[in-house]
Structure 1
Amino acid sequence: MQRTNGGGNPKNKLATFGPVHINNIDLERSTYFWTEIVGMQLRGTNKNIAEFGTEKRTLVVVHEKAKFPFQKGYSGLYHFAVHAPNEAEFASMVHRLNIKKYPYSPTDHTASKSIYLEDPDGITIEFTLETPERLKRVISEGGIWMEGTDGVIRSASERLNLDEVMSALQVNDLHRFIASDTYIGHIHLYANNVQKSNRFYKKLGYTEANNLPQYMFADLGDGADYQHRIALNSWHGSNRPLAPSENAGLNHFQLYYTAKEKLEQALHSINWYEKTINGYRVVDPTGNKICIGIN
C-alpha cells in the first residue's frame, strides 16, 4: 500500500502553497523543461507568461522577464520543492529524469527523500517525498545531523539510495503527466538576516521547527508532521542584497490559508500589506514578495 503524504488541505494546517512564480529568460525553453523534463501539463499561456501543473492545479508560473540567468551570491530564492504524493509517484519523477538523462543530485534528509536539479536558467528545483515518520530528532552539535527512528545518525544531506527509490516504480510511461495530487510543498530562501525572516514567518503563523543561528539556518512548519515548509539560510553570506529583477529567479510565491481567522491573524501581526484582487501582497524582511489569501 502506498503512503500518501500531506499535500491536500487538512484544516489543522495553517496554509498550503499556491503557485510559485519565477522569472526566466526564454519561455519556449522553460516550457520544454516543465513539460518534457518535469512532466507537468501546460495549463495556459498569456503573452510572456505560462502556467504549468497537474490536471487539477497550477504549480509553477513562468514569466519571460529575465535578461540574465540565476546568479548565486544574492538573497532571494534558494530553491522550491515539488512534492510527490507517494513513493510510486516520486519514483516516476526520478525515472523520467533518468530516461531523459537530465542531471540531478539525490539526497536523503531523513525527514524527506529529495533530488535536486536546475532549470535552464540555473534555478534550483527540488523533487521531494515527505518521510517525517523516519525522523526522531535533529542534532546540531558538530554539524547538523539527523537521528532516524531506526536509531541511526546520518548527515542532514546523506546520499539517497536510488535503488530503494526505484523499487517503488509502478508505471513506466513517459507520456504520462505527473500525478494530479502533486503539490508545492516547501520553499527555501536565502535570507539577508535569518533571525528577522524567522520572526516574520512566525508572525504569518508558521511554527518554528529549527532555529540554528550557529549554522545561519532556520525552518518552520505549518501544523503537519512534515515541519520544513519555510526554510531560511544565509549560507551565501549575511546582509546580501536581493537578487536583481533582471536575473532569473523568484518573482513571488503564493500562500493559501485554510481558515479566514488564520489569515486575519497574520495580517494583524505584520507591519504592512496591500490588498489585491486575489488577496493580499506582503513582503518579507529580505524583500521576497508573497501573495496570501484563502484557498
Structure 2
Amino acid sequence: MTQEIHPETRLGPVHLTVSALDRLTDFYQQALGLQVHWRSGGRAGLGAGGEDLLVLYEAPGARRAPRTTGLYHFALLLPDRRELARAIVRLAQLKVPQAPTDHLMTETTYLSDPEGNGIELYVDTPEDGWFGQENGRFVARDKDGLLRSGRDPLDLDELFTHLQPGDRFDTPMHPATRVGHIHLHVADIGEAMRFYHGVLGFGVQIEDETMGFVSAGGYHHHIGFNTWLGHGAPPPPPGARGLRHYTVVVPHRDELDRLGAQVRTAGLPVEQRPDGLMVADPSQNRLLLTVQQ
C-alpha cells in the first residue's frame, strides 16, 4: 500500500518553454508585478523576491502543439483579498483579459500570458464555503450549506472594499506570494490518479470522469488534471512551447528518498539530478521532486 505523501509537501517553481523571452519577462513584470530574479543564457527566473516562482527557457521559433497534454494553468497564491483586488485592478488598467471567479473556497481571476500559458491568481477563502465531492460528483456549498455552482462571477464590489486609500497598482507582487497549485491536461483520469495517488501518495479530493484534484495535507488541491482536450490526448512534441516541468517540494531528504523508491517500485523511470528526482506522469507531464532548501 502506498504511503501518503508528507503533509508539508508544497509546489515550487513552474518551468516553461517560451519562444520570446523578452516579451514574456516584460509581460510578467508589467501585468503581474513579478521581478526578474536572474537571467542567463536564454533563461530567466521570476518571482516575488524570494524563491523563483517561474523559470522561462527561450526556444526561438518554438510553437504550441494544439490539443496535447501539458499545462492548463499554474496558480499563484496571494496572501489576502487586498492583494487579489490589487492584481485584478492592475490587469484591468492594462486591459489584460481576465475572468474573476468565485469558487467559494477560493476567490480567483484567470488569464493567459502572450504565448497562451494559463495563469490563475487566487486567495484561499475557506470561511466562505467548500467545494469537493459528494456521491461521486463535484459539489460546492456556501458557508450556510446551500448548494452553489462553485463557478459564480466574483463580487468585485465586495472585493474592492479590501483596498486601502493610497493603494498603488504598479508595485511588485507581494513577497508572500507562492505557487499554490497547478492544473494539467492529461490523457486519462484513471491513469493520472494511479500515478499521483497510487504511486506518489497524494490524497484524493475530487475524482470524476473528466477531472481529478489531489493534494498533500488535505489542501483543496495542489495538482489538478482534466481530459477536457479529449481522452487520449497525446503529449506535445519535444521543444514545443509550454510546460517543461513543475516542482514538488518535500520537507526533507528522507521523504525524497522514500518517494524515489516508490516510483522505482512502480517500474517508472527516475532521472537523478543535482536538484532532485525528475519523473513523469503517464501523460508525460514532468515533475521535479526536490527538497525544501
1:193 paired to 2:162: no
Contact 1:66-1:247 at 8 Å conserved across structures: no
Q: Which residue is equivalent to 2:214? A: 220
User: After alignment, is 254-263 or 133-142 more displaced?
Assistant: 133-142
Q: Cα RMSD over matched residues?
A: 2.1
1:31 to 11, 15, 25: 25
Aligned partners of 2:61 and 2:239: how far apart in 1? 5
Q: Which residue is equivalent to 1:208? A: 204
Which ranges in structure 1 are unaligned for 5 or more consecutive residues?
A: 1-10
Aligned partners of 1:150 and 1:92: how far apart in 2? 29
Aligned partners of 2:241 and 2:113: how far apart in 1? 10
For residue 163 of structure 1, give the secondary structure of its aligned residue in structure 2: helix
1:250 to 243, 248, 273: 243
Contact 1:69-1:121 at 8 Å conserved across structures: no
Letter in structure 1 aligned against 2:53: L
Aligned partners of 1:166 and 1:71: how far apart in 2? 38
Q: Which residue is equivalent to 1:229? A: 222
State the Cα distance separating 1:42 from its structure 2 match. 0.8
Task: Within 5 Å, give how 1:80-99 maps onto structure 2.
Answer: 80-99=74-93
1:173 paired to 2:168: yes
State the Cα distance separating 1:272 from its structure 2 match. 2.4
Q: Percent identity?
A: 29
Q: Which contiguous aligned blocks of 4+ residues in structure 1 show a shift greater than 4 angstroms? A: 139-143
Q: What TM-score does the superposition give when structure 1 sets the normalisation length?
A: 0.89
2:284 to 264, 283, 287: 287
Q: Aligned pair in 2 of structure 1 residues 277, 218: CA closer, same or farther (>3 Å)? A: same
Letter in structure 2 aligned against 1:294: V
Contact 1:144-1:155 at 8 Å conserved across structures: no
For residue 101 of structure 1, give the secondary structure of its aligned residue in structure 2: coil
Contact 2:140-2:150 at 8 Å conserved across structures: yes
For residue 92 of structure 1, give the secondary structure of its aligned residue in structure 2: helix
Q: Which residue is equivalent to 1:135? A: 129
1:274 paired to 2:268: no
Letter in structure 1 aligned against 2:32: V
Contact 2:256-2:290 at 8 Å conserved across structures: yes
1:154 to 148, 151, 163: 148
Aligned partners of 1:71 and 1:106: how far apart in 2? 27
Aligned partners of 1:131 and 1:219: how far apart in 2? 18
Aligned partners of 1:210 and 1:145: how far apart in 2? 10
Aligned partners of 2:29 and 2:19: how far apart in 1? 17
Contact 1:88-1:169 at 8 Å conserved across structures: yes
Aligned partners of 1:69 and 1:133: how far apart in 2? 42
For residue 89 of structure 1, give the secondary structure of its aligned residue in structure 2: helix
